[in-house]
């Protein structure tokens, strides 16, 4: 047993009122088994959330990241991310015959896995059927969770990886079963193929164990065996990063430079919006409970980990959603406390208040996260400003048609010598996915696509999408004119709305000379 070994009496007293035990002693008499898994209510929650996501998965259109994933060539890694999510995107796209709905099925499966992991975390902390159900329903219908389940993003897989690691760590610490560190290492190794951001979780957990213990775990051979297993499983991706001079570090720097100030400003408000403001009290209670509850002493480091990761993200200028999985851990702990609170006096009134908060939060999150509003009115609502993924999913077919129109207006000789150059991977992906058969070769200098160029020197005519105004491009071409500006027709203000489509002739410098100026990380 560790120095913070959980005693049966303490667990029972804190987890349930007298006469309603949520745990039972194991055969060895020294530890307490967690409550049973509430499969029936969890199945109902999973069916509800899964049905909601599958029913709306085809709404609005492709997200820019999805278009990018489908454009990337198979590889062990990319300059801006590891290979897992693009590989899953290609597989889902192939199996579904190019269906947008089918492409997003893996995202839905990630949400179902995440809500189950949240319920299992609540169970590990002594939560019975009610606490598990509240954790699954609350996290599963949180705004960020629904966004990650609606669009195929790296963040959806990351939440599952982080929650999986935390669940294994919790079992190792609370059950005093250190072999669970091996399972944590296996999940970590797989997670390295999705995002190296999981290193933040390791730093947070390590800092938490150093700060509040149990410190002896840091010398446990099973923990370090788990670390070694993670390195072995993740070795190909790590080798790719090292052999390419750690491009993920360059990418993190670019994000901090371009979006760091905005991210720091919005970080704190977003912590309350990610699951939903109506349920903020739940995860705050979980944070306090993990820090103060004696039976949860062995996993107090989880609360510290969240705080440490928040500080690191703020200092580095990372995205506000990076600590989301740890927020889910705090939420699961809070749901155990809510379930206990509901068993005390005025049960009906308390149940009414809690039920109303959870349902209203779910409804609000669904409107924000999912394509429930008609696209024609979306631009007149605050949703695109709150949920940028919705804004980035609108208008691609219309944008593509406008670029095709500019190409069709060229003389036949100019069409034969033309290429398309876009400012970002979303534009390049949309033109490739929705207009490749109507356009010349498509290039972009954005992130990994910058390494797919330059165009051939025979390309003397340029159709530039968002790469600059005509006056700017005349430095490199003999003649440039603005053929139009992209317009999604529904008034949604996204990154493409209003950008120029410029047609240039008589290129001056060679593409080999121009390309280093075109390539950029963002």
Per-residue pLDDT of 488-501, as tens digits, reads 999 999 999 999 99
Pure H helices in 417-510: 425-435, 470-473
Q: How far apart are CA 297 and CA 212, in angstroms?
A: 9
**pLDDT, mean of residues 347-367:** 96
* Span 9-13, average pLDDT: 31
* pLDDT tens-digit readout, 21-56: 333 333 333 457 889 999 999 999 999 999 999 999
Least confident of 74-78, 146-150, 167-171: 74-78
pLDDT of 73 over the 70 cut? yes
- The answer, yes or no, to whether residue 262 has pLDDT greater than 70, is yes
Residue 382: count other Cβ atoms within 10 Å of its Cβ. 8
Lowest-confidence pick of 75-79, 104-108, 216-220: 75-79
Task: Say whether pLDDT at 1 is over 90.
Answer: no
> Taking 80 as the threshold, does the pLDDT of residue 201 lie above it?
yes
- Contact (CB, 8 A) for 301 and 213: yes
* pLDDT (mean) for 391-420: 97
pLDDT at 19 over 70: no
Q: Is a pLDDT exceeding 70 seen at residue 363?
A: yes
Q: Would you put residue 29 in left (φ > 0), alpha (ψ -120 to 50) or beta?
A: left
Average pLDDT over residues 149-169: 97
pLDDT of residue 3: 37
Q: Pick the closest to residue 5 from 42, 38, 34, 30 (CA basis).
A: 30
pLDDT at 205: 97
Mean pLDDT of all residues belonging to the chain = 91
Q: Does residue 250 or residue 109 have the better pLDDT?
A: 109
In the structure encoding, which two tokens stand for residue 108, read together?
A: 């839905």
Decide if pLDDT at 9 tops 80.
no
Q: Is the dihedral of CA 270, 271, 272, 274 positive or negative?
A: positive
**Which range has the worst mean pLDDT, 50-54, 184-188, 244-248, 357-361?**
244-248
Q: Scan for tokens 């995002």, then name that residue.
A: 195
**Alpha carbon distance 111, 115 (integer Å):** 6
pLDDT at 31: 58
* CA-closest candidate to residue 79, choices 322, 315, 249, 262: 249
Helix or strand holding residue 357 (H, E): helix 347-369
Phi, psi of 443 (to 5 degrees): -130, 160
pLDDT score of 12 more than 70: no
Confidence of residue 7 (pLDDT cuts 50, 70, 90): very low
Residue 510 confidence (pLDDT) above 70:
yes
Burial 485-519 (b: 16+ CB within 10 A, else e): ebebebebebbbbebbbbbbbebeeebeebbeebb
pLDDT, average across residues 290-317:
96
pLDDT at 30: 44
Residues in the chain: 522
Q: What average pLDDT does this structure show over 440-467?
A: 96
Query: Is pLDDT of 14 > 60?
Result: no
- Residue pair 414/458 in contact by the 8 Å Cβ criterion: no
- As a whole-number percent, the residues of the chain with pLDDT over 90 amount to 83
Say whether pLDDT at 10 is over 60: no
Regarding predicted confidence, which is higher, 435 or 2? 435
Q: Is 134 left (phi over 0), alpha (psi -120 to 50) or beta?
A: alpha
Percent of the chain with pLDDT over 70: 94
Looking at per-residue pLDDT, the higher value among 191 and 33 belongs to 191
């Amino acid at each position: 047993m560790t120095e913070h070994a959980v005693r049966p009496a303490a667990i029972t007293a804190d987890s349930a009122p007298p006469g309603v035990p949520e745990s039972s002693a194991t055969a060895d008499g020294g530890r307490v088994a967690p409550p049973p898994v509430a499969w029936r209510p969890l199945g109902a929650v999973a069916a509800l959330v899964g049905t909601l996501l599958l029913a709306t998965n085809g709404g609005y259109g492709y997200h820019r990241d999805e278009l990018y994933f489908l454009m990337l060539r198979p590889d062990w890694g990319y300059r801006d991310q590891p290979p897992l999510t693009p590989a899953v995107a290609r597989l889902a796209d192939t199996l579904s015959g190019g269906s947008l709905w089918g492409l997003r099925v893996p995202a839905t499966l990630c949400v179902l896995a995440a809500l189950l992991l949240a319920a299992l975390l609540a169970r590990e902390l002594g939560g019975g059927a009610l606490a598990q159900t509240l954790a699954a329903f609350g996290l599963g219908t949180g705004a960020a969770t629904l966004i990650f389940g609606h669009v195929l993003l790296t963040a959806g897989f990351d939440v599952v990886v982080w929650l999986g690691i935390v669940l294994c760590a919790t079992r190792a610490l609370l059950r005093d079963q250190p072999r669970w560190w091996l399972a944590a290492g296996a999940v970590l190794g797989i997670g390295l193929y999705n995002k190296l951001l999981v290193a933040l979780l390791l730093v947070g957990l390590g800092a938490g164990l150093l700060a509040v213990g149990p410190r002896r775990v840091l010398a446990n051979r099973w923990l370090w065996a788990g670390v070694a297993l993670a390195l072995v499983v993740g070795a190909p991706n790590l080798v790719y990063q090292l052999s390419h001079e750690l491009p993920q570090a360059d990418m993190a720097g670019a994000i901090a430079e371009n979006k760091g100030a905005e991210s720091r400003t919005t970080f704190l408000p977003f912590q309350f919006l990610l699951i939903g403001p109506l349920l903020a009290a739940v995860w705050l209670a979980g944070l306090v409970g993990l820090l103060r509850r004696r039976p949860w002493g062995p996993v107090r480091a989880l609360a510290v980990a969240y705080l440490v990761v928040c500080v690191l993200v703020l200092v580095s200028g990372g995205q506000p959603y990076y600590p989301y999985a740890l927020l889910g851990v705090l939420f699961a702990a809070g749901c155990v406390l809510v379930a206990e609170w509901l068993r005390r006096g005025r049960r009906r009134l308390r149940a009414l208040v809690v039920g109303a908060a959870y349902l209203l939060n779910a409804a609000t999150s669904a409107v924000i996260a999912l394509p429930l509003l008609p696209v024609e009115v979306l631009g007149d609502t605050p949703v695109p400003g709150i949920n940028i993924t919705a804004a980035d999913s609108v208008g691609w077919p219309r944008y593509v048609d406008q670029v095709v129109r500019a190409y069709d207006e060229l003389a036949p000789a100019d069409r034969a010598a033309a290429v398309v150059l876009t400012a970002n991977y979303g534009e390049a992906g949309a033109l490739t996915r929705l207009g490749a058969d109507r356009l010349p070769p498509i290039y972009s200098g954005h992130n990994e696509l910058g390494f797919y160029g330059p165009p051939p020197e025979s390309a003397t005519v340029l159709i530039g999408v968002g790469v600059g105004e005509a006056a700017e491009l005349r430095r490199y071409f003999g003649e440039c004119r603005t053929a139009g500006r992209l317009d999604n027709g529904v008034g949604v203000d996204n990154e493409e709305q209003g950008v120029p489509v410029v047609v240039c002739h008589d290129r001056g410098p060679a593409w080999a000379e121009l390309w280093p100026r075109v390539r950029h990380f963002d």
